[in-house]
Amino acid sequence: MTAVPTSFYLVLSALIFVIGAVGVLVRRNALIIFMCVELMMNAVNLTLIALADRFGRLDGQIFVFMVMAVAAAEVAVGLAIVMALVHHRDTTNVDEINLLKG
Amino acid sequence: MLDYAWLIFVPPLAALLVNAFFGRRLGKPAAGYLGAVAVGLSFLVALGIFFGLLGLPAEERSHTVTLWSWIHIGNFRPDFALLLDPLSSLMALVVTGVGFLIHVYSVEYMKLDDEHHQLDARRYARYFVFLNFFIVAMLILVLANNLVLLYLGWEGVGLASYLLIGFWFHKPSAADAGKKAFLVNRVGDFGMAVAIMLIFAAVGAQAGSLAFTDLYRVIQQSAPLLAGVASTVTLLLLLAATGKSAQIPLWVWLPDAMEGPTPVSALIHAATMVTAGVYMTVRMSPLFELAGNTLTWVAWVGALTALMAATIALTKTDLKRILAYSTISQLGYMFLGVGVGGYVAAMFHLTTHAFFKALLFLAAGSVMHALHGELDINKMGGLRAKLPTTYRTFLIGAAALAGFPLLSGFFSKDAILVATFEHHAYLLYAIGLVTALLTAVYSFKMVFVPFWGQPRDRKLFDHAHESPALMTLPLWVLAALSVVGGLVNLPFVATLEHWLEKLVALGPVGKPEHPALAVELALLAVSALVALGGIWLAYRAYVQQPDLAVRIRERIKPLHTLAANGYYFDWAYNKLVEGLWAFSRFLAGAVDQQSIDAAVNGLARAFGWLGSRTSRLETGLVSLYALSLFVGLVVVLGYFLATAIIGR
Amino acid sequence: MQLVLFFVLALLAVAGAVGVVLSKNAVYSALALLLNFAVLAVFYIMLNAQFLGVVQVIVYAGAIVVLFLFVIMLIGGQLAPDALTAGSRRPARVVALIAGLVALAGLAYGLVSGALAPQTGQVQGSGSVQAIGRVLFTDYLLPFELASVLLLVAMIGAVVLARKPTKS
């Protein structure tokens, strides 16, 4: 059974990361942007685990554990913000949230 | 005893301080008495200096009194020191003596203002503050032992002149006249400053104190040091002298200066300040002799000025204006004297001129006092009946001015003409003689028109009254001096010459040899004839046949216009100033506003524009910010990648 | 064999990712995300991170996606369509795409040329529960505790943020 080369995982992870990044930049719906961010974080997780496996240490996995915890917290708070924003502005279009304009 | 010479400054200084702070409380005439007495005391000190010097043998009559070390920067160390020698003591006597008489006169005269109302006590006291200040500055000038201290006095009298000319400051003409005097003098002062700097540059090592005695020594022992700059320096000094002594080209301020109170005109613009230029040239005569050519310039400037001013005086009808132009003319004589090496003659004339010109001005003031400020001689007439004392003293003064035989002016003017003759400058002699004729004519025009004949303005005539004693007494004293002043330096007795000879016989020109007895007498006779001839001409023109003057004027109309307009000097200067203003406006507009301001403002605007453009980036769109971040990240990534590849 | 599996799963993962980005409907996006998470979980297991694979399913697929769906439903599916072809931000999109491609190329190149030889890792321990637990409660105790505090704070924050503003 030939093992999958680590670099394959890394390239895949890079691909998913870039897809997520482009999504963040291109989409205007706040929720979808959020989802793309999650995508990016997962790609990073994949990288970490792949490398942890490659080097035979568990540190990468612990890192991923923390990332997951943080991601969970972030999603909770972030969605709360989005909800508040929608209550306030009645739109999820990030282009219309431009109070910083100047 | 001479070491106490500094006391000469104390009374006027003290008086001016007291009058400055307590003048109003002192009131009139106490403030005036204080000022006058102060100058009187200074005169006594001047006498003391004179007798002190007299007691010394002739070779040693040069005593320096150092009051304190003034400036000390490397080689440059002029001290606040006094040089007591025959020349400076003579000047000190004239300044304090005539000054005292004029102060006394002022006590009474200045009780009224220019509109013949009572002058308020504060202004009255202020007048004496300025006048005393002038005395102090003038004494510093004449007693200074070095060029820098002289310059201090020089500037000081300029300031006093400005303050006093513009004393009736509410009159725009007076204020302008003060400004004009100051500004025109500034041109000359600039020349003087540069000259001093050049001298210091040349001989700073040898004579860093710029003391006259040191400079004389340098000239005698190592002349080449100064020979290079001598021409430039002396020309600059001449420029300064023309400013202070109202010669061509800087004379235009003096006629306007008549806006000031009449005693001021007498003291500053006749007897003393305007003579500063003459004094300075005589003081620096060794340097002038070293330069050689400059003395010719001096003589010609003097002669031409004398002639020009005399012609202008003939066309004027304002009593003080005639006297002003006369002063310019007589100062020209003094310059002429200096230019031909007749230093003694020049100083002689300076002294006698101080007597009779001050007398004439004060007498004119007396006339003004009687006629409530009227100065137009065409409105006067027959005043000798109403103002006998004024008339008699004025007559004496005019006669002295005209060179009536045996009066002081006769001898002093003749001395200058003799010097010219000895110097073989026959053309200058001729100019001097013609000017003497004209002088006699306008002098007696001033006698005949206001004082003889019928009154032309009845109302003025009826109100006229003679002046009080405080004014007439100085008139008599000056009249007496105008008569006997000639004794100071009679031909062949030459007292003044002996007094001054050690001082001025330093250069190659030296003192001219005395002509033979016959020549001297002949020249004296010629001068007498000219004077008498001028008086007779005036009599014909202004008493016998009044229309003669008119006919002559018609005949020489263009010449008359030229003279009456002051040879268009003022017009030319006005054009120059206007040109400068136009240039200045151009600079303000094109250079300052349009170029510099535009550049600065333009820069500011450019930044504003840049800012408004870049603020477009602040869209408030977070997605845009994220995009920028990402692009930046890619760039950095690309950079590292690139270096890695290249490194391989 | 594993390679084949890898490629198939990789394809699915990428499909899911693309689906997230390109969907017009937010719900479809969420579901695509779910697919991606699931595939990733499989990958984790393949990489000897069994514990994490399970946690991935529970936390990510089970909680986070559900949360997303809740919010989408709450806000309403009639979200304004922001079709990728909408013109107003065309330049930005183009730039983003190009930048993304460049990034991908660079990353890929970098990663591949990093010469990481395939190796079956000798395990310090596999990513089993016991192994993770051992390490978690010894070497990484502090981060663990901090993570719990973080979760507490996030919970409070979420509650606070979601309140209606009080009229005062």
Where do the domains of chain A lie?
6-89
* Mean pLDDT rounded to a whole number for chain B: 86
Class level of CATH domain A6-89: mainly alpha
Q: Please list the alpha-helical segments (H only) found in chain C.
A: 2-22, 26-46, 50-55, 65-75, 90-113, 129-136, 141-161
Question: Which value does ipTM take for this structure?
Answer: 0.89
The residues pairing with B76 across neighbouring beta strands, listed in sequence order, are: B73
* A28 vs B contacts (CB less than 8 Å): 623
* A21 vs B contacts (CB less than 8 Å): 630
Residue B182 has pLDDT above 60, yes or no: yes
Mean pLDDT by 10 residues, chain A (102 residues): 78 93 86 92 94 86 93 91 81 71 61
Q: Which of C21, C59, C147 sits opposite A19 (nearest CB)?
A: C21
Write out residues 580-639 of B within 8 Å (CB-CB) of A: 615, 618-623, 626-627, 630
**B560, B562, B565, B569: CA torsion to nearest 10:** -150
pLDDT at B555: 78
Q: How does pLDDT run across C39-91, given as a tens digit for each residue?
A: 999 999 988 889 999 999 999 999 999 999 999 888 865 555 555 555 566 77
pLDDT at B508: 36
pLDDT at B157: 94
pLDDT at C63: 93
Q: Which of B17-31, B149-163, B388-402, C85-99 has the lowest mean pLDDT?
A: C85-99
> Quick check: A101 and B626 CB within 8 A?
no
Sign of CA dihedral C153, C155, C160, C162: positive
- Listed ranges B519-533, C69-83, C109-123; the one with the highest mean pLDDT: B519-533
Q: Collapse the DSSP code of B63 into the 3-class scheme (helix H, G, I; strand E, B; otherwise coil) and give the result.
A: strand
Write out residues 471-530 of B within 8 Å (CB-CB) of A: none
Question: Distance of CA B238 to CAs B20, B161, C83, Å?
Answer: 36, 20, 95
Chain A: residue nearest B620 by CA? A101
pLDDT at A2: 64
Residue B439 has pLDDT above 50, yes or no: yes
Q: How confident is the model at residue B506 (pLDDT cuts 50, 70, 90)?
A: very low
Q: Which residue has the tokens 């209550």?
A: A87
Q: How confident is the model at residue B197 (pLDDT cuts 50, 70, 90)?
A: very high
pLDDT at B17: 93
Query: Which residues have C-beta within 8 Å of that of residue B78, sequence separation ≥ 6?
Result: B70, B71, B146, B147, B148, B149, B209, B210, B211
pLDDT at B505: 43
Q: How does pLDDT run across B590-609, given as a tens digit for each residue?
A: 777 777 888 888 889 999 99
What CATH code is assigned to C1-78+157-168?
1.20.120.1200
Using a CB–CB cutoff of 8 Å, tell me whether C110 touches chain B: yes
Q: Which of C95, C97, C111, C112 has the most B C-beta neighbours within 10 Å, making it the best mutation to test the interface with B? A: C95
Amino acid letter, B374: E
The alpha-carbon gap from C38 to the nearest alpha carbon of chain A, in Å, equals: 11
- Residue B513 phi, psi dihedral angles, 5° rounding: -70, 150
Q: Collapse the DSSP code of B117 into the 3-class scheme (helix H, G, I; strand E, B; otherwise coil) and give the result.
A: coil
* A3 vs C contacts (CB less than 8 Å): 2, 118-120
- For B151-175, give the DSSP string: HHHHHHHHHHHHHHHTTSTTSHHHH
The alpha-carbon gap from C168 to the nearest alpha carbon of chain A, in Å, equals: 17
Q: Which residue has the tokens 């395990």?
A: C123
Chain C: residue nearest B633 by CA? C103
| Cα–Cα distance for residue pair B161/B131, rounded to 1 Å | 9
Q: With beta carbons less than 8 A apart as the criterion, state whether B63 and B53 touch.
A: yes
> Quick check: A102 and B618 CB within 8 A?
yes
- Residue B118 phi, psi dihedral angles, 5° rounding: -65, 135
Q: How large is the average pLDDT for residues B573-586?
A: 89
Residue B139 has pLDDT above 90, yes or no: yes
Q: What is the largest CA-CA distance in chain A?
A: 60
Q: How many CB atoms lie within 10 A of CB B274?
A: 28
Residue B503 has pLDDT above 70, yes or no: no
Q: Which of B624, B634, B637 sits opposite C92 (nearest CB)?
A: B624
> Quick check: B637 and C103 CB within 8 A?
yes
> Quick check: A31 and C79 CB within 8 A?
yes
C-alpha angle with apex B411: B49 to B343, nearest 5 degrees?
A: 55
**C116, C120, C126, C128: CA torsion to nearest 10:** 90
Q: How does pLDDT run across B199-222, given as a tens digit for each residue?
A: 998 888 877 788 888 888 888 787
Listed by start position, the domains of chain C span 1-78+157-168
Using a CB–CB cutoff of 8 Å, tell me whether B646 touches chain A: no
Percent of chain B with pLDDT over 90: 38
Q: With beta carbons less than 8 A apart as the criterion, state whether A69 and C60 touch.
A: no
> In B516-565, at which residue ranges do the beta strands (DSSP E only) sit?
none
> Quick check: A102 and B615 CB within 8 A?
yes
Chains that touch B (3 or more CB pairs under 8 A): A, C
Chains that touch C (3 or more CB pairs under 8 A): A, B
The residues pairing with B81 across neighbouring beta strands, listed in sequence order, are: B66
pLDDT at B99: 93
CB pairs under 8 A between A and C: 246
The whole-model pTM stands at: 0.69
Q: Which residue has the higher pLDDT, C44 or B229?
A: C44
Write out residues 14-43 of A within 8 Å (CB-CB) of B: 21, 24-25, 28, 33
Q: With beta carbons less than 8 A apart as the criterion, state whether B312 and B564 touch.
A: yes
